[in-house]
Amino acid sequence: MTPTTFPQANLTLTAPPGMPECGELPVYRGGTQCVSCWQVSWRERLAILFFGRVWLQVWGGRTQPPVALSGERTIFPEDLPPEDREAAEAEIEEPAGIPLSRLRIACGLPEPQRQGP
């Protein structure tokens, strides 16, 4: 996968000292999160289709920070056609369009239990 720029990107992260294998990473930074966009090659698309897995590797720590992966067209509702925008905006509970339910799954938190009537 290759990092790619996108209209909402407002910062470019650069490689830390001593890591020449790292390139630049365009991100949207919005207070509570950084969002990056990655272009998937045809070979990677086929591998994802056949194996049904995407691996996430995070360097520089002994634990996993909260992360979320998405295969959606966009996570920014303003990029959606008008007929899809209203439904997407109703789902959003966090800045940059990442629903809280997706963040719970990515962080390994259980969905809240519904209270009876």
| Number of folded domains that form the chain | 1
pTM: 0.64
65 within a domain of the structure (yes/no):
yes
Helix (H) or strand (E) holding 72: none
25 within a domain of the structure (yes/no):
yes
Q: pLDDT tens digits, residue range 26-79? A: 999 987 888 999 999 999 999 999 999 988 888 777 777 788 888 887 878 777
**pLDDT for position 113:** 46
Q: Is the pLDDT score of 112 beyond 70?
A: no
**pLDDT for position 31:** 79
68 within a domain of the structure (yes/no):
yes
**pLDDT for position 43:** 95
22 within a domain of the structure (yes/no):
yes
112 within a domain of the structure (yes/no):
no
Query: In whole angstroms, how far apart are CA 100 and each of 31, 92, 114?
Result: 16, 7, 15
**pLDDT for position 103:** 44
115 within a domain of the structure (yes/no):
no
64 within a domain of the structure (yes/no):
yes
DSSP classification of residue 8? T
By residue range, what is the domain housing residue 35?
2-107
